[in-house]
Amino acid sequence: MNHMINTGKIGEDIAYQYLKNLGYKILMRNFRIRGGEIDIIAVDGNTLVFVEVKTRSSDLFGTPEEAIHFHKLRFIERAGKFFRAGRNNLPEAERIDVIAIDLAEEKAKIRHIKNAGF
């Protein structure tokens, strides 16, 4: 379990820096409500972005993006509504992005899926 926590933290740190380098304005990390969390909340231009980060250190259990399922995306949508509550000056447009990080190689591979959905 501790290995999974460390892998997840490493992946979130990589994703955070990756998004900052792209010019995203990071508003919050690890926004929690009952039932889960949104890893990163950011603004990309005029769009509020809820980011799910999935990290894998091997492909034994599939790719990181294969771990994102319909219920997780629906949870992020619901949690996003909680985040908006009581906050002004947020962009009206919003989307969910997935950052998939593969640590199996010497250098981390990052795949950024904008506007993830089914």
Q: Tell me which residue range forms the domain holding 48.
A: 2-113
Q: Is residue 7 part of a domain?
A: yes
| Per-residue model confidence as pLDDT tens digits over 40-89 | 999 999 999 999 999 988 777 777 888 888 899 999 999 999 999 989 99
Q: Which CATH number fits the domain that encloses residue 51? A: 3.40.1350.10
| Per-residue model confidence as pLDDT tens digits over 98-117 | 999 999 878 889 999 999 87
pLDDT of residue 65: 83
Q: Is residue 58 part of a domain?
A: yes
Q: How far apart are CA 36 and CA 21, in angstroms?
A: 27
Q: Virtual CA dihedral for 1, 70, 29, 53, nearest 10 degrees?
A: 60
Q: Is residue 59 part of a domain?
A: yes
DSSP state of 1: -
Q: Is residue 118 part of a domain?
A: no
Q: Is residue 21 part of a domain?
A: yes
- Predicted TM-score (pTM) of the model is 0.90
Q: Is residue 57 part of a domain?
A: yes
Q: Is residue 65 part of a domain?
A: yes
| Main-chain phi, psi angles of 78, to 5 degrees | -65, -45
Q: Give mean pLDDT, residues 12-31.
A: 97
Total domain count, the chain:
1
Q: Is residue 13 part of a domain?
A: yes
